[in-house]
């Protein structure tokens, strides 16, 4: 029964999210940027393919983050604003099922969008592959339709699943969507710099205690920077499957922890 209820909430979130205009605006922007990368590639002294891949993957990651943040923070607060939360909680639906369902629904929405953008990128690359001469193809460090790009997509999907959990956490206790956006963006940016924070003592000369304190923050923050293998796959360099498995496991564990916290916070909330 629990699985069915969680599934229903998730499916409802998916249906609601795909109707959101913000989603289409971001997806259209990303699509335009991926297509525009072909034009940018023309002024790069033969590095068009690298630029298309770099720009395409970066666009997918940024668009994914924007979708996650702007839809994720409204997941709970919108229900409260619209007062639909009262009707939902009056039903035999435990609060933890509500939170988990919301999370899975948004992860499904984001995943579908990310992979649709990846398909658009592959279409652009396929066109580039057809238009290129044989000698141009030989100069590419990796084939245009390199399946290794999919590893980068797996990492971006895992990264966004983790970011969704963070956005949901802030959405569960803050009534202000603006504050939730600010918190989530802050954590995302800090997480992208988490490698430097963890090794703060090696980068900046500070008192060891300060270094340890900043380092501890670096370990506690979600390590979004560690999901970045875009450069390796674009250059056709090998990526260890163990690394990908480790980061997917990390995202799953951290997201589970964040959702657990969200459940705790949400279960203590009182709605008037």
Partner 1 sequence: MTIRARAFIVVLALAGVSAAAGVLHAREVAYPPAPVSQRLLYLRSGKTAARIMLDFDALAADVYWIRSIQSYGRDLKNRNQPDRFALVGPLLDLTTTLDPHFLIAYRFGSVFLAFEPPNGPGRADLAIQLLEKGLAADPTRWQLAHDLGFVHYFHTRDYAAAAEWFERAAALPNAPSWIGPLAAVAKAQGGDRQGSRQILRGLAVSEEAYIRRAAERSLQQLDALDAIDQLEALVQRFNEIHGRYPSGWQDLIADRALTGPPADRQNAPFVYDPATHRVSLSPESPLMPLPEMLRR
Q: Which residues bind partner 1 (CB under 8 A)?
A: 40, 43-47, 50-51, 54-55, 58, 61, 135-136, 138-139, 141, 189, 192-193, 196, 224-225, 227-228, 230-231, 234-235, 237
198: tokens are 């963890």
The CB-of-175 to partner 1 minimum distance in angstroms stands at 30
Closest CB to partner 1 among 32 and 237?
237
163 Cβ partners below 8 Å, 6+ apart?
65, 68, 69, 72, 184, 188, 222, 224
193 Cβ partners below 8 Å, 6+ apart?
225
The CB-of-133 to partner 1 minimum distance in angstroms stands at 9
Closest CB to partner 1 among 80 and 243?
243
The CB-of-186 to partner 1 minimum distance in angstroms stands at 13
Question: For residue 234, which of 117, 114, 149 has the smallest C-alpha distance?
Answer: 149
The CB-of-51 to partner 1 minimum distance in angstroms stands at 5
What stretch of H or E contains 115? helix 95-131
The CB-of-227 to partner 1 minimum distance in angstroms stands at 8
How far apart CA 32 and CA 29 sit, in angstroms, is 5
How far apart CA 38 and CA 28 sit, in angstroms, is 16
The CB-of-58 to partner 1 minimum distance in angstroms stands at 4
Closest CB to partner 1 among 99 and 214?
214
CA distances from residue 266 to 7, 73, 82, 118, 252 in whole angstroms, order as listed: 19, 14, 17, 35, 20
Closest CB to partner 1 among 44 and 267?
44
CB 106 within 8 A of CB 65: no
Closest CB to partner 1 among 12 and 50?
50
Closest CB to partner 1 among 154 and 260?
154
């Amino acid at each position: 029964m629990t699985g069915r209820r969680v599934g229903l909430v998730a499916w409802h979130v998916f249906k609601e999210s795909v109707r959101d205009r913000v989603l289409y605006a971001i997806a259209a922007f990303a699509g335009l940027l991926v297509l525009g990368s072909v034009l940018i590639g023309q002024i790069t002294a033969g590095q068009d393919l690298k630029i298309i891949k770099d720009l395409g993957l970066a666009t997918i990651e940024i668009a994914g983050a924007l979708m996650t943040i702007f839809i994720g923070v409204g997941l709970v607060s919108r229900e409260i604003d619209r007062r639909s939360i009262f009707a939902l909680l009056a039903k035999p639906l435990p609060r933890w099922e509500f939170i988990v369902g919301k999370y899975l629904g948004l992860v499904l929405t984001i995943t579908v969008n990310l992979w649709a953008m990846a398909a658009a990128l592959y279409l652009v690359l396929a066109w580039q592959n057809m238009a290129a001469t044989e000698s141009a193809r030989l100069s590419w460090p990796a084939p245009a339709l390199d399946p290794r790009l999919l590893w980068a997509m797996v990492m971006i999907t895992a990264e966004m699943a983790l970011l969704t959990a963070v956005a949901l956490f802030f959405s569960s206790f803050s009534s202000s969507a603006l504050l939730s956006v600010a918190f989530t963006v802050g954590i995302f940016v800090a997480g992208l710099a988490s490698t430097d924070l963890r090794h703060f003592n090696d980068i900046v000369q500070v008192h060891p205690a300060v270094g340890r304190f900043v380092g501890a923050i670096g370990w506690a923050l979600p390590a979004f920077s560690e999901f970045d293998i875009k450069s390796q796959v674009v250059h056709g360099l090998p990526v260890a499957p163990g690394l990908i498995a480790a980061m997917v496991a990390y995202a799953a564990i951290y997201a589970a922890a964040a959702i657990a916290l969200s459940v705790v916070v949400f279960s203590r909330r009182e709605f008037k």
